[in-house]
Amino acid sequence: MSHARYPEWQAESAEALIAPIVANEPGPVLLCLQAVQAHFGYVPGDAVAMIAEACNVTRADVHGVFTFYADLRDTAPPAVPVRLCAAEACQAVGGRELKAEWAKACGDDADLATLTGVDEPIFCLGNCALGPAALVDGELMGCADVARLKAAVAQAQAMGEGA
């Protein structure tokens, strides 16, 4: 399933993204990785090799930078990613219970699970006063519960299909 927000991976597009970064920025590896992920939603292995060659460093060097930054991913994102805050303030107001309820909802609904992907923990969204907090397709939600998450997922999916 592709993500409506991102185009399919294309080496030519990635080359066009990273060439000006390599030409103009000192230490361009991270910037290249971020540019590819911003455009395609992830950094495929082909891009790691491409960035290594363009920056005249080894693949291991690029991989080292890639693995250091938890927000960089090497697989395409789900269509409507859902991430629940796993930090303390949200845990104190039901975040742990919400995580379990969301896991059950996804376990009961294979389509929902496929649509939203793995709930990769995220630590503090800066919305602590309105916990538990979540990100639904990159949009911040406070006072999250399963019903509101499902509604937001449906809305994001509808918007993605309309795009």
What are the residues binding ligand FES (CB under 6 A)? 85, 87, 89-90, 124-128, 131, 133
Residue corresponding to tokens 């030519």 = 12
How far apart CA 29 and CA 22 sit, in angstroms, is 8
- For the bound state, the minimum distance from the C-beta of residue 107 to ligand FES, rounded and expressed in Å, comes to 23
Q: Which of 120, 49, 27, 133 is nearest to 89 (CA)?
A: 133
Strand duo 139-141 + 82-84: pairing = unpaired
- For the bound state, the minimum distance from the C-beta of residue 83 to ligand FES, rounded and expressed in Å, comes to 11
Nearer to ligand FES (CB atom), residue 72 or residue 89: 89
Per-residue tokens: 35? 């540019």
Q: What are the phi and psi torsion angles at 119 (to 5°)?
A: -75, 90
- For the bound state, the minimum distance from the C-beta of residue 36 to ligand FES, rounded and expressed in Å, comes to 28
Nearer to ligand FES (CB atom), residue 20 or residue 121: 121
Nearer to ligand FES (CB atom), residue 80 or residue 125: 125
